Structure 1
Amino acid sequence: MSIFRFLFSKTFLKQLGLALLILVVFIFIVKWWLGSTTNHDELIAVPDLKGMTLDVVEQELSNADLRPFIMDSANYNPNYPKFSVIEQSPAAGKFVKENRQIYLVLNPSGYRKITIPNVISKTRRQAEPTLISLGFKIGKITFVDYIGENELREMYHKGKRIQPGDKLQKTATIDLVLGNGKGSYRSSVSDNDSDSQNNDTDGGN
């Protein structure tokens, strides 16, 4: 009987109320601490970084409490400045937590260099598609006396003769020298050999 009288006494009720109050305060403090350390419900909008150079990007992300992570460069995009952002993840406008990494792909300094294939002695119909498929552009077409009509004899880039195996930047323009179908094979070979010897002599001088 005395136990029931104690449970309903003012002293026990005061202690019970105090314990509940302490529990509520403790739960509130824990929730506040978790919210402040994990930024619960605090999201940041990812800024649009495309076209920005790396130094500007770093400043933008620092102001937003975000971190950049640079990924491998992609293929060169002429629509963006060199070393600027051309891709980002998460995308602009997405909401993320503070200190989140933003993955960035930068525009390289230029097109990569490609090895010139051996298309000498190929017909124009064969050589042009091969060069174009690799990303080169076809420039000026000239003809020389040679029995093989439309057969590729020489290639030039910016006035300099180039050979199969040389490397040029993708989208580089290549000028083609083709045979015109005139003359004989022997005379054409002799002329070419003579030209090569003259070029070697001139180079030595």
Structure 2
Amino acid sequence: MEKKKSILFKILSNVYVKNLLLMALVLVVLITIILVALSYYTKHNETIAVPTIKGLQVDEAASILRASDLKYEIIDSVFLAGGVPGAIIDQVPKEMANVKRGRTVFLIVQAKSVQMVAIPELRDYSQRQAEAQLNSLGFNNIIIDHVPSAYVGLVMSLSYKGQQLTAGQKIPKGSTLRMAVGGGGEDTGVDSLEQENPATNNNTIEKSFFK
């Protein structure tokens, strides 16, 4: 027994073993300090439920969020028909979600006026291209009128409330538009006999040239 103690004493008294044990002790202490600090900094397991603020005005919601130790930020405003101007339409995180104190709640509010959108240049575009551009801008109710034209399927004009629009003109987003599209059937003004007899056309040109 004494022999075993003597061997253990020799091992522990070795300078290299002492240094290794000291390093291990320091490492354990450092890890413990870091874990305690992280737990305190992140307020581990200390969460609150996000209150329901949809439908409220921003001022009302701000008071409720501050009382819950939460921040807020308006990230977008959209216009919805029948909505209350200035009211909160949506929130992120959603209501009753568990978050840490000091978290920012992002708000989307009802715009106080209709958003105005500039109309792009669409004349001579194909109907499909023009509709795709208008849809991307929020115009989904487009009435198509086919009018006589030498070019089938090309946009001739775009109108809003009976008034023809020009490129860059702004109108309320989501408005109903009328698009005049070429439907063919227009007389090009070239005489059919001249088309059938190109030789006659050449003779006429030559006579007029040498006259």
TM range (shorter): 0.5 to 0.7
Does the CA contact (< 8 Å) of 1:146 and 1:181 recur in 2?
A: yes
**Percent of aligned pairs with the same amino acid:** 22
Does the CA contact (< 8 Å) of 1:118 and 1:164 recur in 2?
A: yes
Tell me which stretches of 4 or more aligned residues in structure 1 moved more than 6 Å.
Answer: none
Question: Residue 107 of structure 1 is aligned with which of 97, 106, 109?
Answer: 109
TM-score by length of 2: 0.53
Question: Residue 53 of structure 1 is aligned with which of 54, 57, 61?
Answer: 57
Instruction: Report the Cα distance in structure 1 between the residues aligned to 2:169 and 2:120, rounded to whole angstroms.
Output: 8
Offset of 1:111 from its aligned partner? 6.0
Give aligned pairs, total.
145
Q: Which amino acid aligns with 1:161?
A: Q
Unaligned runs of 5+ in 2: 1-44, 191-211
Unaligned runs of 5+ in 1: 1-40, 188-205
Q: Which protein has the larger Cα radius of gyration, Structure 1 or Structure 2?
A: 2
Matches within 5 A, 1:2-21: none
Offset of 1:67 from its aligned partner? 5.4
Matches within 5 A, 1:59-98: 59-61=63-65, 64=67, 66=69, 68-74=71-77, 76=78, 78=80, 81-85=84-88, 86-89=90-93, 92-94=96-98, 96-97=100-101
Q: Which amino acid aligns with 2:156?
A: R
Matches within 5 A, 1:1-205: 45-61=49-65, 64=67, 66=69, 68-74=71-77, 76=78, 78=80, 81-85=84-88, 86-89=90-93, 92-94=96-98, 96-97=100-101, 100=102, 102-109=104-111, 112-185=115-188
Q: Cα distance 1:179–1:112, how it changes in 2: closer, same or farther (>3 A)?
A: same
TM-score by length of 1: 0.54
